Structure 1
Amino acid sequence: MYSFLSLQDTLGDELLAAVGRIGPIIVPEATAPEDFPSTSYYILAETPPKIDAVISWLNNGADRVILPLRSIKECIELIPKEKLILLLDSVTLSAITETIRSGVSGIMLQTTRANSEFLSPLKKFFSGLDIFVHSSAAEPPAPAAVRELCKNSATIVIPTSQLTLSASTETALSVGDAFLAPMDSDRPDGLFPTIVSSYNQGGKSLGLVYSSAESVRETIITGRGVYQSRGRGLWRKGETSGATQTVVSIRADCDQDALEISVIQHGSGFCHLGTASCFGELRGLAALEATLLSRKETAVPGSYTRRLFKEPELLAAKIREEAEELIEAKSREEVKFEAADLLYFALTYCIARDVGLADIERVLDEKAKKVTRRPGNAKSQFLTPLTSRIVSASKPSSGESPSSTRPSVDPSVPISMRSFVLNQLDSNQRIQLLRRPVLKSDEMIAKVKPIVDDVRHRGDAALIELTNKFDKAQLSSTIVRPPYAPDSMALPLDVKDAIDLAYRNIRLFHDAQATKVPMVVETMPGVVCSRFSRPIARVGLYVPGGTAILPSTALMLGIPAQVAGCKEIVLATPPRPDGSISPEVMYVAHLVGASAILTAGGAQAVAALAYGTETVPKVDKIFGPGNQWVTAAKMMVQNDTDALVSIDMPAGPSEVLVITDSTGNPRFIAADLLSQAEHGVDSQVVLIAVNITDEHLSAIKHEIDVQARALPRVDIIRESIAKSIIVSTNSLEQAIEFSNDYAPEHLILHLENAPDVVNKIDNAGSVFVGGFTPESCGDYASGTNHTLPTNGYARQFSGVNTQSFQKHITSQEISQAGLTALGPAVITLAECEGLSAHANAVRVRLEG
């Protein structure tokens, strides 16, 4: 029940927010918004609009439209009656037919005075309809007039210019006074019983409190939960506990003697006992949402829910599985059971992407407001019978290798690697063991080319559209520049300390790599040659994002760029659905002095860095790992002479090769192999066993199976380990030869005299020496860089280092005496090549 509606005729954000909490706002057609900052609004059209405009207003979120008689006649039967209000005056009142009366849900009468004298005949003719009264008087109505109309089942419409957040005056009526005017308390203390409900938990009741006129006024004005304690006076919820409330709406009940206040509860909960509600724990979907939110932050390692949050492939597969099981369910009990499972996995998917029940309900409410509907046809791939889809899904499509599908796996089968004995292999079999999966780079480049071209030609507009499409984030700008807001970098102390420790170690190691003084060599008397370094001026650092948080990659790329002295460091990373960047990455960007953060990922981010846009600086070199889309885009732009950009190195799936002898600890070896196997189903994992017993090898295999089953990403590991290999050799020399031919990204030496073996390693991205040097330390904090060549490119490429961000320039200075000694040889060589002008440049100097 509304005591009044406000007609927006002046702008004022605080006033509009206040009146929006207590009822719909009427917005004139001239200022009809697409996204009005109110929970509910009507649109008033005093002149007849086109029917398409009316439909557009409703589709864009208006609850109802108020139309003149001529427009109402056109809209009846085309637009639901509950969306239509008839605009009336004394002239048009006599022209109302039964068809019109039955085709609308309410009327708004425009009069010169707001009183109830005319309501009796009006209520009789428009029985069952909402009645709104809009007075054209220059002064606001008195609270008594508001009360009188409300008691007669009518709602008064007051222009916002006649409303105030302050005390009522002759020229302005307090919003609080207008809301309270029709209310009556039946309590001796004059307080109103108030139900506080949770807006973001499906309207769940949080508690029963009391409100006074004073607390209601403050609640309306501030948007914070304020109540009346019967013992302590005004009670501003959360003032001492921190469990504050954001008020969404305030409503009176049908008798105007009680209130419901809908809030978003912050902090520990509503109840003083620390629970969400005074009526006990949450139940149903609200309880599930609260549990999932908690598990997202503090899930126990190895728990099923943690696996779902950490493994998007598994979660997606479970949603598909449960959806099909629901479709196949026959009995009522089966339907309930399968629907519950589907809701659980679907809500987990939403929570993982920062979408809650309130967001979903808000979208449902918005969809309900629309008056036009989609046809509702299913996509063609879902029109085939369910059994046919299941059969076809089990078969590889044309041109697809059987290994690309994921058949069901018997969990009782051990998680094990394939074993080979090197001496028993011929040369072709040995070559096959050294091969990596074929990367179809041409196909991927063809897929990313439209994306790269779109960003290249349309700049920011394309970048924003693609970020919305692929990252589901709606942004007005994709660039963030320093100084970065402190709240965007807020971290738990232990995380901050860990990043700071990693930063110090990585900085120390990379600072030692920098070329700081020129190299100067006098090649002969009077001839001095030198070589000096300069930083690459503008670099782009790609940090993968999405569901993962990778501050380590930001450190590994940002620190050497900072040490090298790059003038412009642009860090690119995909945004979260709300458009923000993880605080861990934001903090690292601050530490390394990033000059800009590009909130975009994928091929579109690579294109923006390579070509530049209206806001994104063009860079000279792009660094960083990424998926196959990122890799293909990097390869494409480095071959485009218009881009004038280079890249760090080719990239492929993560790799580890472990060499062990009889001294290797099976638990340590298994853990190292699994640390790379969990990256993805295409991870490359190799174990070279040097003259070890069958019992020792069995112990390693047993540890792989046991440890893998305890890890959250076991489904991924099961696939990658099944493709991985154990190669048994008779000697350390054979093992090192195989490793150098393989050229792994990570090489771990579980050997008795591991330090002595390092000088025999020719090809590897990074070497981890001894049983207490896990690859994980190099990934995060020991100091070396984890951006390394994969796919065998360790034969030709180094990992990222400080000199990757520098270029080297040579110079020479020759004295007259030096040219006299050197010149004749230069003239001879130039004339030998037929380049007489070269020879002449020396000769004219020697001739004086």
Structure 2
Amino acid sequence: MSGFSFLAFVDNADASLLRPLSRIAPLILHPGFDFPPSSVPHTSYFIFSQNESSDKIISWLDAGAQKVIISLARASDLVGVIPAERLVLLLDVANVSAVTDRIRTGVSGVLVRTPAADSEFVASISRFFVGADIYVQSTASSLPSLTTIRQLKNSNGTLVIPTSQLSISNSDSLHLNIADAFLAPATTDRPDGLFPTIVASHQDGKALGLVYSSLESIRESILTGKGVYQSRKHGLWRKGETSGATQEVVKISLDCDSDSFEFTVIQHGSGFCHLGRPSCFGQLSGLSALEKTLQARLKSAPEGSYTRRLFDDPDLLRAKIMEEADELCKAETKEQVTFEAADLIYFALTRCVSAGVSIADIEQNLDKKSKKVTRRPGNAKPQWSLKTEAIVTASTDDKPANLSDPSDEPIRMRTISLAGISAASRAELLKRPVLRSDEMIAKVKPIVDAVRKGGDAALLELTAKFDKATITSPILRPPFSPESMELPDEVRAAIDTAYANIRKFHAAQTSSAPLIVETSPGVVCSRFARPIARVGLYVPGGTAILPSTALMLGVPAQVAGCQEIVLATPPRPDGSISPEVMYVAQLVGASAILTAGGAQAVAALAYGTESVPKVDKVFGPGNQWVTAAKMLVQNDTDALVSIDMPAGPSEVLVVADRTANPVFVAADLLSQAEHGVDSQVVLASINLSPALIEAIEYEVDRQARVLPRVEIMRESIPKSIIVHASSLDEALEFSNDYAPEHLILHVERAADVVDKVNNAGSVFVGPYTPESCGDYASGTNHTLPTNGYARQFSGVSTQSFQKHITSQEITREGLETLGPVVATLADREGLGAHANAVRLRLQT
């Protein structure tokens, strides 16, 4: 482990200690720790494995762990499965002799626990584990000495120190200062005691300059994370203190002889050099120079310039990337390949800069991918493999090209950055799939007309045609038979709990007391609620049984006091209704169940038939046929029926910052993506690192593959997008413009963010509030506005099943004051009878 004086075994997660530690030493973590460690970015870390499966260990390595420490008992199972360079063997000094040659050569390091942590011990272990890194953890209770750290380092061993023995305060009998431990092996032969120090860029690894460090300056850099050096003329030099060109220290390393240092930094401001250049060794060149130029052009390229056109027109940039990639593939000579590759890199880097991606981000992503243990097949996507195979087959026997197995393809979302995006492109992001309502209304109109004219006979015929069920009557009335509601006990208990929670929340919304206001002396106005007498509740069948929808519609109807509750749902092939829905119908006091689905059910509810009661308002989600039928009947004066809201495909928008758990985020995205191939799924990421974005994408792919509706998600997820935002405000501005059905906040202090939400059907606050809970049992309603209608509509509530009536009562004295005002306004509008109704009363 060249460059480090010790490793830190994390036995307490004190961020104030771990952050400076991460600059100077790799961390050893237990599985219970948060990985990757978000509180200590850029750190190297090992993980202690206990009895985890090889798949779990591989997932840690794929997520960024440098190595995994395994016991001798597990080594025989894991050696050969996991690359040797990623394995460290944990041994007690007593069982070194039990290690077989297979295990010895199948690991890259060994961590030995021993009371004798000295150089002779390391030398003896090194003779057995040739070429391996030797880590030593003392089992003695006493604090390790600086001399021990120095001796082990000089013997090519590394001491492991528990964080409970480390401190950022001065060393004492119980704690060792981390700077003291790090600097223990350092030595210099300079008379002034200074150490030559190379300052290198974290972004591209290039040297920015050569400076000098003292023990004092290094200590300060470790603790503050700022670039602090030692000027030979002026003493401590805190870089950027006056110029503003500050540095964020990522890592401090000792060289192999422990007599010089390397500071890896993120440079801010004009650059490292006092001449305003990025480096003291001259101007940038090559890719780094191109990146700087494009970053500057993104901010200030003049209107009409070619680079500005590329930034403002994503379609043009996409076309150029594809064009240049094709040219590169066709190039034959070295010069042609060089020329075309340079063009492709220019356009590709323009795309990256427009998305806020740096060369350093790309390099870090490559480094991370190189460390992954799992590998995808790497086959070309069907649209590209098809083209290649088509060329081959065209030259042979003209047989159709074979596509690669689509199950090999990763299930991924599209990505786009809000930075520098044009107004037109941003507007495109906010659009949902085009709902051709006029076309759908034309298709459902014959169905609606057939039910309106033909009544029960037409309804039974259409049910046989569309629901594939032959029934003798379209309506069921209570009491419902116990056999129709037979359920496992756990399902019945779950429905009962959901019912209780939903009822409690919706009962609190009732408008029981009238609103009474005396607007002026003798003039009393009031407003009071009355239930809508007859309501129809549409519960979809289709690809899923939805007793939850029956609860969400039936409970507020019951709480509001609706006299007649007609529940409509498609029958099963045998003509029956699912027992879950039957049980909910009994719970909410349904007065009838219409065993029909689709447009024919909506028509029956709107107009009534011989056996189906006509309702005053139709509620519930459904497919585009149901939606079109609802829109048609609400505009027909013969029906005299209203609907709850326009409906579209299910949708979710997740806002995530650096605190987000990739596993939770992916699960929330997939919970909506499984509804249908047209589901709308958006992730608004706030300055997420490439590693975190990749972790989310990995989880989306991994989780989707083991879920039962994966084939639906293979279609819905690729249509979904990841939107990169530079701040919380930018992400919420986009969300408010998008107006999602479900909004999930995976952000720091999520509860404080709710005040900034203006448009959403329902908000799910914090990492432990999955949208699923709102769908089923938390108490809020899951019938919500989609398709951007959250700007104008609320979700279904108790008030949705009520109408409000106003009244007024005026005394003689009140009319004497108010009457002249009314008469004047009536005269002004030319409505003499209105004025006369007032004046006659005032004259008596």
The TM-score bracket by the shorter chain reads 0.5 to 0.7
Show the counterpart of 1:633.
787
Alignment partners' CA distance in 2, 1:462 and 1:70: 35
Match 1:187 to one of 187, 190, 199: 190
Show the counterpart of 1:454.
650
Alignment partners' CA distance in 1, 2:9 and 2:126: 23
Show the counterpart of 2:244.
242
Match 1:473 to one of 657, 667, 684: 684
Show the counterpart of 1:254.
256
Show the counterpart of 2:381.
379
Judging changes above 3 Å, is the alpha-carbon distance between structure 1 residues 386 and 338 closer, same or farther for their aligned structure 2 residues? farther
Contact 1:46-1:67 within 8 A present in 2 as well: yes
Letter of the 2:740 partner, please give it: Q
Letter of the 1:105 partner, please give it: S
Report whether the alignment pairs 1:580 with 2:728. Answer: yes
- Counterparts of 1:338-353 in structure 2, within 5 Å, are 338-353=340-355
RMSD: 4.5
Contact 1:451-1:604 within 8 A present in 2 as well: no
TM superposition shift of 1:284: 1.5
- Counterparts of 1:397-796 in structure 2, within 5 Å, are 440=436, 452-455=648-651, 465=669, 473-474=684-685, 576-582=724-730, 599=735, 601-602=737-738, 604=740, 609=759, 611-614=761-764, 633-634=787-788, 642=796
Judging changes above 3 Å, is the alpha-carbon distance between structure 1 residues 637 and 117 closer, same or farther for their aligned structure 2 residues? closer
1:228 alignment partner, SS class? strand
Which shifted more, 465-474 or 341-350? 465-474
TM superposition shift of 1:212: 0.8
Alignment partners' CA distance in 2, 1:66 and 1:638: 56
Judging changes above 3 Å, is the alpha-carbon distance between structure 1 residues 28 and 635 closer, same or farther for their aligned structure 2 residues? closer
TM superposition shift of 1:638: 7.0
Judging changes above 3 Å, is the alpha-carbon distance between structure 1 residues 309 and 606 closer, same or farther for their aligned structure 2 residues? farther
Show the counterpart of 1:115.
118
TM superposition shift of 1:177: 1.3
Report whether the alignment pairs 1:75 with 2:271. Answer: no
Alignment partners' CA distance in 2, 1:328 and 1:276: 37
**CA deviations over 1:621-661 (Å, ceiling 9, x no partner):** xxxxxxxxxx9935799799959999xxxxxxxxxxxxxxx
Judging changes above 3 Å, is the alpha-carbon distance between structure 1 residues 387 and 290 closer, same or farther for their aligned structure 2 residues? farther
Letter of the 2:287 partner, please give it: L
Alignment partners' CA distance in 2, 1:458 and 1:259: 44
Alignment partners' CA distance in 2, 1:21 and 1:211: 16
Show the counterpart of 2:65.
62
Judging changes above 3 Å, is the alpha-carbon distance between structure 1 residues 158 and 300 closer, same or farther for their aligned structure 2 residues? same
Contact 1:452-1:604 within 8 A present in 2 as well: no
Judging changes above 3 Å, is the alpha-carbon distance between structure 1 residues 182 and 447 closer, same or farther for their aligned structure 2 residues? farther
Show the counterpart of 2:286.
284
Alignment partners' CA distance in 1, 2:117 and 2:148: 7
TM superposition shift of 1:137: 2.1
Report whether the alignment pairs 1:167 with 2:170. Answer: yes
Show the counterpart of 1:532.
none
Letter of the 1:612 partner, please give it: S
Judging changes above 3 Å, is the alpha-carbon distance between structure 1 residues 317 and 381 closer, same or farther for their aligned structure 2 residues? same
Judging changes above 3 Å, is the alpha-carbon distance between structure 1 residues 319 and 173 closer, same or farther for their aligned structure 2 residues? same
Judging changes above 3 Å, is the alpha-carbon distance between structure 1 residues 29 and 148 closer, same or farther for their aligned structure 2 residues? same
Contact 1:581-1:599 within 8 A present in 2 as well: no
Match 2:154 to one of 141, 151, 154: 151
Which shifted more, 158-167 or 30-39? 30-39
Alignment partners' CA distance in 2, 1:134 and 1:287: 46
Contact 1:5-1:155 within 8 A present in 2 as well: yes
Letter of the 1:580 partner, please give it: L
Judging changes above 3 Å, is the alpha-carbon distance between structure 1 residues 124 and 463 closer, same or farther for their aligned structure 2 residues? closer
Contact 2:295-2:353 within 8 A present in 1 as well: yes
Show the counterpart of 1:297.
299
Contact 1:575-1:581 within 8 A present in 2 as well: no
Report whether the alignment pairs 1:99 with 2:235. Answer: no
Match 1:337 to one of 335, 339, 342: 339
Show the counterpart of 2:448.
none
TM superposition shift of 1:186: 2.7
Normalising to structure 1: TM-score of the pair? Answer: 0.52
1:275 alignment partner, SS class? coil
TM superposition shift of 1:232: 0.5
**CA deviations over 1:335-387 (Å, ceiling 9, x no partner):** 12111111111111111121212222222222222211111111111112369
Contact 1:139-1:162 within 8 A present in 2 as well: no
Judging changes above 3 Å, is the alpha-carbon distance between structure 1 residues 368 and 54 closer, same or farther for their aligned structure 2 residues? same
TM superposition shift of 1:47: 3.8
Show the counterpart of 1:491.
none
Alignment partners' CA distance in 2, 1:254 and 1:448: 73
**CA deviations over 1:666-688 (Å, ceiling 9, x no partner):** xxxxxxxxxxxxxxxxxxxxxxx
Alignment partners' CA distance in 2, 1:448 and 1:221: 64
Contact 1:131-1:154 within 8 A present in 2 as well: yes
Alignment partners' CA distance in 2, 1:632 and 1:16: 45
**CA deviations over 1:105-151 (Å, ceiling 9, x no partner):** 01011011321232222111111110000012223211111000100
Report whether the alignment pairs 1:90 with 2:96. Answer: no
Alignment partners' CA distance in 2, 1:296 and 1:810: 62
Letter of the 2:18 partner, please give it: L
Judging changes above 3 Å, is the alpha-carbon distance between structure 1 residues 633 and 173 closer, same or farther for their aligned structure 2 residues? same
Alignment partners' CA distance in 2, 1:644 and 1:253: 71
Alignment partners' CA distance in 1, 2:232 and 2:164: 36
Judging changes above 3 Å, is the alpha-carbon distance between structure 1 residues 442 and 113 closer, same or farther for their aligned structure 2 residues? farther
Letter of the 2:259 partner, please give it: D
TM superposition shift of 1:43: 3.7
1:473 alignment partner, SS class? strand
Show the counterpart of 1:487.
none
Contact 1:107-1:129 within 8 A present in 2 as well: yes
1:29 alignment partner, SS class? coil
Show the counterpart of 2:451.
none
Alignment partners' CA distance in 2, 1:349 and 1:326: 18
Judging changes above 3 Å, is the alpha-carbon distance between structure 1 residues 577 and 375 closer, same or farther for their aligned structure 2 residues? farther
Alignment partners' CA distance in 1, 2:330 and 2:798: 57
Alignment partners' CA distance in 2, 1:229 and 1:74: 55
Judging changes above 3 Å, is the alpha-carbon distance between structure 1 residues 311 and 612 closer, same or farther for their aligned structure 2 residues? same
Stretches of structure 1 that go unaligned for 5 or more consecutive residues are 393-437, 478-572, 587-595, 617-630, 647-808, 823-840
1:609 alignment partner, SS class? coil
Contact 1:308-1:315 within 8 A present in 2 as well: yes
**CA deviations over 1:413-438 (Å, ceiling 9, x no partner):** xxxxxxxxxxxxxxxxxxxxxxxxx9
Judging changes above 3 Å, is the alpha-carbon distance between structure 1 residues 379 and 232 closer, same or farther for their aligned structure 2 residues? same
Letter of the 1:474 partner, please give it: S
Alignment partners' CA distance in 2, 1:72 and 1:172: 34
Judging changes above 3 Å, is the alpha-carbon distance between structure 1 residues 443 and 193 closer, same or farther for their aligned structure 2 residues? farther
Alignment partners' CA distance in 2, 1:76 and 1:574: 38
Letter of the 1:205 partner, please give it: A
TM superposition shift of 1:74: 0.8
Letter of the 1:286 partner, please give it: S
**CA deviations over 1:497-533 (Å, ceiling 9, x no partner):** xxxxxxxxxxxxxxxxxxxxxxxxxxxxxxxxxxxxx
- Counterparts of 1:767-846 in structure 2, within 5 Å, are none
TM superposition shift of 1:443: 8.1
1:385 alignment partner, SS class? helix
Letter of the 1:180 partner, please give it: L
2:287 alignment partner, SS class? helix
Aligned residues: 495
**CA deviations over 1:449-507 (Å, ceiling 9, x no partner):** 99955348999989973999966533699xxxxxxxxxxxxxxxxxxxxxxxxxxxxxx
Letter of the 1:599 partner, please give it: S
1:131 alignment partner, SS class? strand
